Homo-oligomer: A and B are copies of this chain.
Amino acid sequence: MRDVARRDTERCMTALKRIEREPLWDLAHAQLRDALLAGRFEPGTVLTLRSLAESFGTSITPVRDAVTRLVAQGVLQQGPRNSAIVPHLSRRELSDLTVVRCALEGRAAREAALRRHDEAALRKLQDRLSTMQSLIAARKLESYLEHHRKFHFGIYAMSGVPLLVETIENMWLRCGPVLSYVIPEYVVLLKGWDHHTAALKAIVAGDADGAEREIVADITDAAHYLASLADTTGQLRRPSGLITS
């Protein structure tokens, strides 16, 4: 037993690999987060603690922590009696979201263009761009959405301002549920594609104004398309069918 302990301490000293057992509420939080972002929850659904706890196979305490966190972030809306409901997105809320996203993501693109960035990150983004192009051609929309997300945040990460990236991530989470089922019909029109390439090109050229302009155009174009889908009450709903793979 002694040499075992010795070996343990040695490993900790040399590798510095943390054990870090993830708490249950952290796992629940991550699962709920991903589900929201992927649009697996219909807007308007009330998330009850006990049903979620049963799904996760845990007590209600961890899921309560997770839900509390999501509500604090503004990802989940709190309905009557402090119940957590996955939020609807009205045309007005979408408009507000667009304003904030333009300010934040436009600034991030600007900062990214002004920085000296490593070639590896740039090449990675360019590769991802061509991957996205082929994914669109193959109509693999779910996979495209993942790459699309990573492309955007790849740019924002190059701003060198973690707080900026974190705040933008929060905004994406808020419009995540809706985006997931309206973007697929949007991207096949290749509307946003040129903005992506132009933005990346502006960044490699160090053109801050151009980078901001293209990112803002990408956001506002998508927002206009989304707004056109709203019904007479200003609510955004799933247009026709479910996501096919």
Within 8 A of B (CB), among A170-198: none
| Residue ID in chain B nearest A74 by CB atoms | B166
Interface residues of A (CB under 8 A from B): 23, 64-65, 68-74, 82, 93, 96-97, 99-100, 102-104, 106-107, 111, 161-164, 166-167
- Taking CB atoms, residues of chain B closer than 8 Å to A69 are 68-69, 71-72
Q: A220 to nearest B CB, angstroms?
A: 14
A70 to B72, CA, bound (A): 8
A73 to B96, CA, bound (A): 20
Can you give 26 contacting A-B residue pairs, CB < 8 Å? Answer: A23-B82, A64-B65, A65-B65, A65-B68, A68-B69, A68-B72, A69-B71, A70-B72, A72-B73, A73-B73, A74-B166, A93-B163, A96-B161, A96-B163, A97-B163, A99-B107, A99-B163, A100-B104, A100-B107, A100-B161, A100-B163, A100-B167, A102-B107, A103-B104, A103-B106, A104-B104
